[in-house]
Structure 1
Amino acid sequence: MAKTSPPVHRTALFASAVAMLALLTACGTENGTTTAPRPTEADRATHTAGATGSTPASRAVPSDTAGSASASARTDGRCQSSELRASVGRVDPGAGQRNFPVVLTNASDRTCTLYGYPGAAFVDASGRQLGPDPERAPASPEAVTLPPGGSAWAGLSFASPEISGARTATPATLLVTPPDERDSLRVRWTAGAVPVGGDESSVSVTVLEAGTGP
């Protein structure tokens, strides 16, 4: 029998080992037992964040954002309804007109600002509005700064019903809403009938200015 030289023998053994390794790998794949590469710490952190929907700590939104926004709204300088007291001054009759100063007074202990037109509405004892909302008299508003106890006024005017012949009603209350506010201030109305319908029934209001009236 021919003898195999040492180099040839080693080559045959190497080829046999390679074939055996390939066979074992194939069997492992078919059985589903092939071991996947071990995930790194970064891979695990990314997977956890994506699965839970949480924000990575490096991108977390500061927890006091909402609080800061609320504080800003409270300190923007605007007079709020809860800080004001409303009143109606004495009538100033004109040529067929009835004019009233509607006064807003700062009842708080801080300085605040009013800008623009107040809202106004006549209502009866049940709270039902009488007539349409007042029209705004054309003007260029200016900011009015009110220290504690300071006042601003706007003119509320309408044609005298006795002269205009408009349909009238007698309100129980005048609702006054400061600019940019939603809550109204209630003022007892004691000045008699106001126009609520028909010709010459419109009511107008002017911009706010410093003081308590003309």
Structure 2
Amino acid sequence: MPNGSRRAGAATAGAVVLLGALAACGAGGTTQTPPSPASAPASRSAAPGDTTASAGDRTPTASGRTERPASRCRTSELSASVGRVDPGAGQRNFPVVLTNVSSRGCTLYGYPGAAFVDAAGEQLGRDPRRAPGDSATVTLAPGDSAWAGLRYASPGVSGADTAVPAALLVTPPDEREPLKVPWKAGAVPVSGNASSVFLTVLEPGTGP
């Protein structure tokens, strides 16, 4: 081979060796590659005048104040009483009245609970049954009242077994603690035929 051809071949071989060494150095060295777009932080800085926030930066804002609705009346905020009897057609009817004695407004909805008890606190007869009716929320300002009708067949007409209660326990809707009202209206049916006692839904006022 001519000398010129040998020198050209040697130069080419040297260049290949040099490139291979550089490639090996890059693979095993400490040269860092730029972070990929996926590794970039999710949040961004707002540009001047940019009012758009990311989903994680949004804070709810109040659109305006509204008056807080009245919550239900608690037993401790009420007093109970039994109105005058309204006799008629073999029935005895009484308004059971709940009055708001607190300093705030509150609400009643549905039926109160009721039970006749003796002097020892033992219940007489079964729980009253609910007369059909449409319930509606009754809002009581301080001093306002709502009433439910308590009725039963007159024992002298129905022939039911009777007892004379010492008190009527009245429990406001959705409450557990009752209010105790002395009972002064005589005998009530506690067993036998036609001994059921009925309650109506609460409505505004103190009686019919």
TM bracket, shorter-chain basis:
0.5 to 0.7
Q: Deviations over 1:48-105 (max 9, x none)?
A: xxxxxxxxxxxxxxxxxxxxxxxxxxx8610000000000000000100000000000
Correspondence 1:79 to 2:73: yes
- Indicate the residue corresponding to 1:141 in structure 2: 135
Q: 1:186: which partner in 2?
A: 180
Q: Which amino acid aligns with 1:111?
A: G
**Secondary structure at 2:96 match in 1:** strand
User: Matched residues in 2 for 1:87 and 1:98: separation?
Assistant: 16
Pairwise CA RMSD: 0.9
Partners of 1:96 and 1:90 lie apart in 2 by: 16
Paired residue secondary structure (1:127): coil
2:193 match: 199
Q: Which structure has greater helix proportion?
A: 1
Q: For residues 101-158 of structure 1, what are the alpha-carbon distances to aligned partners after superposition, in whole Å with 9 as ceiling and x for unaligned?
A: 0000000000000000000000000000000000000111000000000000000000
Q: TM-score w.r.t. structure 2 length?
A: 0.67
- The alignment covers a number of residue pairs equal to 140
- Aligned equivalent of 1:211: 205
The amino acid across from 1:87 in the alignment is: S
Q: Which letter does structure 2 place at the counterpart of 1:154?
A: A
Tell me, which stretches of 5 or more residues in structure 1 are unaligned?
A: 1-74
Preserved CA contact (<8 Å) 2:77 2:101: yes
Identity of aligned residues (%): 73
Partner residue, 1:163: 157
- Paired with 1:135 and 1:102, the residues of 2 have a C-alpha distance of 15
Q: For structure 2, which runs of at least 5 residues remain unmatched after alignment?
A: 1-68
Q: Give runs of aligned pairs for residues 51-200 of structure 1, distance below 5 A.
A: 77-200=71-194
Distance 1:188 1:107 in 2: 19
CA distance in structure 2 between the aligned counterparts of 1:209 and 1:141, rounded to whole angstroms: 8
The alignment's TM-score, normalised by the length of structure 1, stands at: 0.65
Deviations 1:156-204 (A, max 9, x none): 0000000000000000000000000000000000000000000000000
Alpha-carbon contact 2:131-2:200 (below 8 Å) kept: yes
**Does the 8 A contact of 2:70 with 2:105 survive in 1?**
no
